[in-house]
Structure 1
């Protein structure tokens, strides 16, 4: 059975949420975060952005996980039209395309660049079909 976009997002989210990291925006949250990942103030930490921290010795595993997630997503996009079609329709709704008519937030959420679209005719056709069908389903011509 093929993996759907939402299934893959759920799987990636579960793995990311189980990774030993924490987010802190004040000293109390930082102390709680250290305890959560079994670290002390003497342990070397890496700031991963957005208030997130991991142990320095976990950095490579974290990068590898994110790279693997990206590769799985990219592989699905170029090899599975159904995955891409439903992904685009989901993100069109999620980014209120019917209100803004701005495709950029949808493409960004899908990790689709204009270069990727222009380099892959099949991907471009699938994205265009999803947009056309989404508009038709919502009575937009």
Structure 2
């Protein structure tokens, strides 16, 4: 199985397991407060993290640390693939497919999802080669 996909799934599970709520209505907010084990009037104890997400204020450090660990894990996996033919190839293939590159021929969403720029890719031979191989592979699948 794709090591990048496994990592993404593991990271998503960590987020899903984190005490977080999403609310786009008052009813959802009230239900979310219960999920966070807070009373309706304890709104001063929650922090708006954007996009409808809320966490307990005292969970912020744990929340930030989770994302930092995930980011470091991704960076380490990229660094360990010195040729770009392993993890990096899988990473780009997955994100190119996820962002429909074979239809759009637009790399911007793929790069944004990976927090990369074309400049940063071109500066690192392993990333450059992995992207080139992934593009070739994704386009060959279409024909």
- TM above 0.5, yes or no, is yes
Give distance in 2, aligned partners of 1:135 and 1:73: 25
Give distance in 2, aligned partners of 1:136 and 1:30: 47
Q: Answer with 32-41 or 108-117: which moved more.
A: 108-117
Unaligned runs of 5+ residues in structure 2 are none
Offset, 1:119:
2.7
Q: For residue 16 of structure 2, what is the aligned residue in structure 1?
A: 17
Offset, 1:77:
1.7
TM-score in terms of structure 1 length: 0.89
Give distance in 1, aligned partners of 2:19 and 2:97: 32
- With over 3 angstroms needed to count, the CA separation of the structure-2 counterparts of 1:77 and 1:16, relative to structure 1, is same
Higher relative contact order (CA 8 A, sep 6+): 2
Give distance in 1, aligned partners of 2:125 and 2:65: 29
Unaligned runs of 5+ residues in structure 1 are none
Q: For residue 138 of structure 2, what is the aligned residue in structure 1?
A: 134
Q: Answer with 107-116 or 43-52: which moved more.
A: 107-116
Q: For residue 73 of structure 1, what is the aligned residue in structure 2?
A: 74
TM-score in terms of structure 2 length: 0.88
* CA-to-aligned-CA distance 1:18-68 (integer Å, 9 cap, x gap): 100101111111110010011123251110110100010000100010111
* Superposed structure 1 runs of 4+ greater than 4 Å apart: none
Q: For residue 58 of structure 2, what is the aligned residue in structure 1?
A: 57
* CA-to-aligned-CA distance 1:76-131 (integer Å, 9 cap, x gap): 12222311101111221211112111011111222322242133112111111111
Q: What do you get for the CA RMSD once the two structures are aligned?
A: 1.8
In the comparison of the two structures, how many residue pairs are matched? 138
